[in-house]
Structure 1
Amino acid sequence: MPQQFTQATYHSLCNELALTDADFNQIIKQHGYPPFWSRPNTFESLVHIILEQQVSLASALSALNKLRERVQEITPACILLLTDAEMRECYCSRQKTAYIRYLAAAIISGQINLEGFEQMEDDAIRRQLTALKGIGNWTVDVYLMFALQHTDVFPVGDLAIVNAVKRLKGLPKETPKEELVMIAEQWRPYRTVASMLLWHYYLSDRKPKP
């Protein structure tokens, strides 16, 4: 079974990271603990993550809410009944419409079993999901972190995480991702929780100063 974190263990894991990395200790002192970001392990959550690919979180949420209005419950069967025009009206691009339909068909056919993922290791889940068109490592990382609460995922494809590490560690902008992955090694086996702290730092740092 993969190691998972819960709301009950979250702060203690943040504290453990703060003991090993003074920068994390400073984040908690300045900004408090990061929110416990989580999503249910559902088709809708994966659709939401696909919609978040390369757009703002607000745009993705608008599209998700439009889909909810249209079908009430976002299930594979309901999504496959929508026409191209209806998907467009829900702010879904042609590309993302195709990705969401591939996922819906894979779940209906039994190729993908979200409940079964709860007992599986990261690599096995990643192999199954990235076999679907439109699902890459970033989408899988976010799913593992938010929907399954696996403790040791570092989403190096996430721009906010990349920028947060560079700013926190005083690294030049041109620092390669391979170096960031090496830095993240020191946060094992809690790289997911470290990423939550980094997102919290990134978002808190962007808030307008009073």
Structure 2
Amino acid sequence: MKHQTFDHSNFHQICDELARQDSDFKRVIEQYGYPPLWNRKPSFATLIHIILEQQVSLASAKAAFLKLQEKIGHITAEKLLQLTDEELRGCYFSRQKAVYARALATAVINKEIIIEELHLLADDEIRISLKKIKGIGDWTADVFLMMVLNRCDFFAPGDIALMKSVREVKQLSSDVLKDEIIALTEKWKPYRTVASYLLWHAYLSKRNISQ
């Protein structure tokens, strides 16, 4: 099944199209340049990294991920399940994220999910497959679809930085509701993911945060 994705061959072209439609995106590109084409390998390690990014800073999540890598080398489901609670705490995993990581590892070992084959599925099927696993909700599924599979038309309303960036870039007041922001994103279809990259890029650049 063919799914609409973006890559280096069309990423800037889509950014330019969004900039033509929306002067605020044009201003983002003029001020900060094109966003990086964030892309991650569809793997167990990548999903662990995304779980670690839930509700914490990118720097904190990266520190935990690198500590885990230092502890076990190549991150696999089998190796992770061999770690004790204490060893996971030593890798900066909270108790909750240790539970989530083990749930994912167990699902991978039992072949309840084959991460490397998710790209073959339709968007909704991917979301359903991922959300069957404890600790994976809409935000994690959105990030996987957007940043790992580079599916074109997603927006993650559960992402605090993204929502904050919409308010900043569009100069919206703080009392604008979440549903109103989601409605606003409709005009960016079918490229809401790339629009989100522009917004994330503006947020990170404004704060001098490296990804």
Which residue number in structure 1 is paired with residue 203 of structure 2?
A: 202
For 1:7, what is the secondary structure of its paired residue? coil
SS at match of 1:150: coil
Name the residue aligned to 2:162: 161
Q: SS at the partner of 2:74?
A: coil
- 1:9 lines up with 2:10 in the alignment: yes
SS of structure 1 residue aligned to 2:9: helix
Residues in 2 aligned to 1:86 and 1:202: alpha-carbon distance in whole angstroms: 34
Segments ≥4 residues shifted beyond 6 Å: none
Aligned mates of 2:94, 2:162 — CA distance in 1? 26
Partners of 2:66 and 2:176 lie apart in 1 by 37
Match of 1:115 in 2: 116
CA positional deviation for 1:70: 0.8
What residue number does 1:50 align with?
A: 51
1:112: Cα distance to partner?
0.5
Secondary structure at 1:8 match in 2: coil
CA distance in 2, matches of 1:203, 1:39: 18
Structure-2 separation of matches of 1:69 and 1:205: 32
CA distance in 1, matches of 2:32, 2:93: 35
Q: Percent identity?
A: 49
Q: What residue in structure 1 maps to residue 28 of structure 2?
A: 27
Trace 1:1-210 onto structure 2 (pairs within 5 A): 1-207=2-208
Give 1:175 shift: 1.2
Kindly state the Cα deviation for residue 116 of structure 1 after the two structures are TM-superposed: 2.1
Secondary structure at 2:10 match in 1: helix
Shift of residue 115, structure 1, vs aligned partner: 2.2
**Structure 2 unaligned regions, length at least 5:** none
Superposition TM-score, scaled by structure 1 size = 0.96
Q: Secondary structure at the match of 2:55?
A: coil
What TM-score, normalized by structure 2, do the two folds share? 0.96
Amino acid at match of 2:175: E
Q: Distance in 1 between matches of 2:66 and 2:207?
A: 26
Structure 1 stretches lacking a partner, 5+ long: none
Deviation string, structure 1 residues 23-46 (Cα, Å, up to 9, x no partner): 111111111100111111110000
Give the Cα–Cα distance (whole angstroms) in 1 for the partners of residues 57 and 170 of structure 2. 25
Indicate the RMSD between aligned Cα atoms, in angstroms: 1.1
How many residues align? The count is 208
**How far apart, CA to CA, are the structure 2 residues paired with 1:46 and 1:174?**
34
Amino acid in the other structure paired with 2:59: A
